[in-house]
């Protein structure tokens, strides 16, 4: 089994090569960002109609709505994560090259993380206006909890999108695999954000944040180690 990625000095240069290509392609087509943005906006509007949020109640549910909106929006983009590689068999050409597969995965995950974060940056203010929010806890912690949770979602999603490439009804399969495995991270993310918004001081030791970081490290390592196996499976 040749699944062990070797982290050479050139590894990050390789990641940068892949990443620059992905950003350039997205910069030209803007397909995933636009569809994600609109979709996430729709989810936020739908939820606010379904729950009729008042200021007090919205603080309780807003964390969940924000995370789930991100989740749904990301899945539509993650499903397309490898679409350009599959369309003209580019993936086969990539498999033929002697370059490390883990770098390909890492760059793709970074690109998706960048797109989803952009959507969150645009969506964030809209969200705070719609739900009449002003956080009572430490706002700066949001800048840690949300990226960590987003990374958990995007890295796993990119990995499982590659895993479901070869199956029939691939688009349906991704959420089926991703959601159960992402659940602990979602839970930590929702509770972390909720603690910050309500400022109830229920998590003084930042346990949810630590859990998220641990989750990210664990699953990132596994993905990097196993991606070669998934890419070369036939």
Q: Sketch the per residue contact string, 12 through 41, with other proteins: x for CB under 8 A, - otherwise.
A: -xx--x---x--xx--xx------------
Does 6 contact other proteins by CB under 8 A?
A: no
How far is Cα 234 from Cα 230, in angstroms, rounded to an integer?
9
- One of 45, 126, 176, 201 touching other proteins (CB under 8 A): 176
How far is Cα 1 from Cα 199, in angstroms, rounded to an integer?
50
Does 213 contact other proteins by CB under 8 A?
A: no
Does 207 contact other proteins by CB under 8 A?
A: yes
How far is Cα 101 from Cα 15, in angstroms, rounded to an integer?
10
Cβ distance to other proteins smaller for residue 47 or 159: 159
How far is Cα 223 from Cα 230, in angstroms, rounded to an integer?
10
Does 97 contact other proteins by CB under 8 A?
A: yes
Q: Which residues contact 38 (CB under 8 A, 6 or more apart)?
A: none
| Candidate ranges 49-57, 86-94, 105-113, 117-125; the one touching other proteins (CB under 8 A) | 86-94
Among 24, 3, 1, 209, which residue's Cα sits nearest to residue 107? 24
- One of 57, 166, 199, 201 touching other proteins (CB under 8 A): 166
Handedness of CA 111, 114, 118, 123 (dihedral sign): positive
Cβ distance to other proteins smaller for residue 29 or 132: 29
How far is Cα 136 from Cα 141, in angstroms, rounded to an integer?
12
- One of 89, 118, 124, 126 touching other proteins (CB under 8 A): 89
Among 192, 176, 191, 186, which residue's Cα sits nearest to residue 216? 186
Question: Other C-beta atoms within 10 Å of 104: how many?
Answer: 24
Does 193 contact other proteins by CB under 8 A?
A: no
CB 33 within 8 A of CB 113: no
Does 232 contact other proteins by CB under 8 A?
A: yes
Residue ranges in contact with other proteins by CB under 8 A: 1-3, 10, 13-14, 17, 21, 24-25, 28-29, 84, 87-90, 92-99, 156, 163-164, 166-169, 173, 176-177, 179-181, 183-185, 187-188, 207-208, 211, 214-215, 218-219, 222, 226, 229-230, 232-234
């Amino acid at each position: 089994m040749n699944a062990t990625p070797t982290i050479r000095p050139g590894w990050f240069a390789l990641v940068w090569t892949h990443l620059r290509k992905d950003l350039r392609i997205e910069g030209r087509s803007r397909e995933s960002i636009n569809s994600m943005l609109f979709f996430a906006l729709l989810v936020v509007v739908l939820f606010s109609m379904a729950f009729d949020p008042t200021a007090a109640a919205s603080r309780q549910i807003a964390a969940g709505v924000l995370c789930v909106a991100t989740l749904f929006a990301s899945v539509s983009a993650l499903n397309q994560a490898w679409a350009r590689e599959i369309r003209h068999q580019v993936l086969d050409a990539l498999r033929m090259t002697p370059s490390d597969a883990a770098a390909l995965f890492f760059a793709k995950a970074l690109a998706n993380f960048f797109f989803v974060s952009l959507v969150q940056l645009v969506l964030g203010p809209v969200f705070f206006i719609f739900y009449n929010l002003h956080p009572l806890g430490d706002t700066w912690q949001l800048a840690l909890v949300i990226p960590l949770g987003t990374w958990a979602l995007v890295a796993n999603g990119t990995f499982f999108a590659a895993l479901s490439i070869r199956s029939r009804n691939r688009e349906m399969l991704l959420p089926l695999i991703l959601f159960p495995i992402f659940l602990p991270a979602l839970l930590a993310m929702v509770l972390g954000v909720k603690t910050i918004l309500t400022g109830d001081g229920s998590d003084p030791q930042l346990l949810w944040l630590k859990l998220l970081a641990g989750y990210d490290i664990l699953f990132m390592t596994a993905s990097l180690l196993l991606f070669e196996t998934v890419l070369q499976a036939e």
